[in-house]
Structure 1
Amino acid sequence: MQVTDVRVRRVEKDGKMKAIVSITLDNEFVIHDIKVIEGEKGLFIAMPSRKAADGEYRDIAHPINSGTRDMIQSIILNKYETTLLENEMAAEALA
């Protein structure tokens, strides 16, 4: 499985949620609403989830092994950091 596209759709400077991301797998399957979150130990991703009847949040889609999760997280966080730099350079160019 390959992550063939990463789209950072929204970037926030304030709060713990830093971005909303979509990824495409093998040019065939898209997962929307992956969140980039700033935690106590740094940035991490939260897969899309919905609130269950018991009030708990359950992932809608998620990797089933840690290696795949680590790979997806690494790719998303690299793209997020690149997007931040591009946004900063664009803002400086306009100033």
Structure 2
Amino acid sequence: MLPITEVRIHLLPISKTNLRAYASITISGCFVVHGLRVLQGEHGLFVGMPRRKRESTPSQDIAHPINTETRQQIESMVIDAFTEAMAQRPMHPVEHDRNPPGHAD
């Protein structure tokens, strides 16, 4: 199995959809796969593989693991990176007071 050497997460604004983030993985420091999706399902988070939309047929995976071990490795690393990114996300925007105490207009 080739090592996943980097995972990048792009968090999305909180919404009513089940899509939480996009992810990219780098394999062995030399091959990048973009367009992975972190999704919220009924039983928790899962990773969707990159897909191509088609007009006449259902969408189709562009890239996907061909064995369970690789799928589990990708899913584990992407969800761990997503969890870490969420922990670093501020819960509320910081409000900056234009007139701090002791400052007159």
Per the shorter chain, which TM-score range? 0.7 to 0.9
Counterpart-to-counterpart distance in 1, 2:85 and 2:11: 10
CA RMSD of aligned residues (A): 1.7
Counterpart-to-counterpart distance in 1, 2:57 and 2:51: 12
Counterpart-to-counterpart distance in 1, 2:66 and 2:56: 23
Tell me, what secondary structure is at the counterpart of 1:74? Answer: helix
Deviation string for 1:8-50 (max 9, x for gaps)?
Answer: 1233321200000011000010000100000111100100011
Aligned length: 93
Unaligned ranges ≥5, structure 2 = 96-105
Larger proportion of strand: 1
TM-score with structure 2 length normalisation?
0.80
Q: Which has the larger radius of gyration?
A: 2
Tell me by how many angstroms 1:53 deviates. 5.0
Counterpart-to-counterpart distance in 2, 1:48 and 1:73: 13
Counterpart-to-counterpart distance in 2, 1:12 and 1:45: 18
Query: Which residue identity does 2:71 align to in structure 1?
Result: R
Query: Which residue identity does 2:68 align to in structure 1?
Result: S
Unaligned ranges ≥5, structure 1 = none
Percent identical: 34
